[in-house]
Homo-oligomer: A and B are copies of this chain.
Amino acid sequence: MKETALQVVRKGRKFEQVVDGAWKVFLNEGFEGASVDDIARSANVSKATLYSYFPDKRLLFLEVARAECQRQANQAFSEIDFSCAVQEVLTQAATRMVYFFLSDFGQQMFRICVSECARFPELGKEFFASGPGLVQSRMAEFLGEATKRGEINVTDTMFAAAQFHELCKADLHTRVICGLQTQFTQAERDRVINGAVEMFMARYGV
């Protein structure tokens, strides 16, 4: 029973078309910057049709954010081999996260959510649940299992997952968000990825 948080979104023939068009415009223009006329044009749909699906712009954004975050998170999970050694799993996870944070979508989603959450609480909850929260829960689960196997020693698994998540943002994420730098070499990425794994293992390794 997949439903949007405020249960007011009607489905129909051109639903996906609207969401896809909105995705593009939000990604390029941000939330405030994207006009509903732009979105309707980009989706090849009339404004009236758009409003027949989504009673307002916020709910449309919510749907876009929810769908894409979940898609990305699921893809990442399916591609990580959780049966590898801890260090290897952490490296894979960190690699995904760094790429996500530095991607256009990751950046813009972060920007929009950070700026709109204060005025739009529902968005914050959805974003957290289908983004950072989801990733951290899955990581915490893995850390718990690895601890049981004696490979590491983590007591507060959710917190450790949050720390790891945060470590993956060191330096580069701050720089990209502040607009100081937009392109990053593999060496720069590796420094963050390996730095996060090393630090995590130094603290929680057996």
Contact = CB atoms under 8 A, between A and B. Distances in A.
Interface of A: 30, 32-33, 107-108, 110-115, 117-119, 121, 124-125, 127-128, 132, 156, 158-159, 162-163, 165-167, 169-171, 173-175, 177-180, 191, 195-196, 198-200, 202-203
Contact of A199 (B165, B177, B199): B199
14 contacts: A111-B114, A113-B177, A118-B179, A121-B179, A124-B177, A124-B178, A128-B180, A159-B171, A162-B170, A163-B167, A165-B174, A166-B169, A166-B171, A199-B203
Contact of A177 (B114, B121, B165): B114
A165 B173 CA distance: 12
Contacts of A191: 156, 159
Contacts of A114: 110-111, 114-115, 177
Copy total for this chain:
2
Contacts of A177: 113-114, 117, 124
A2 to B, nearest CB: 20
Contacts of A203: 198-199, 202-203
B170 A132 contact: no
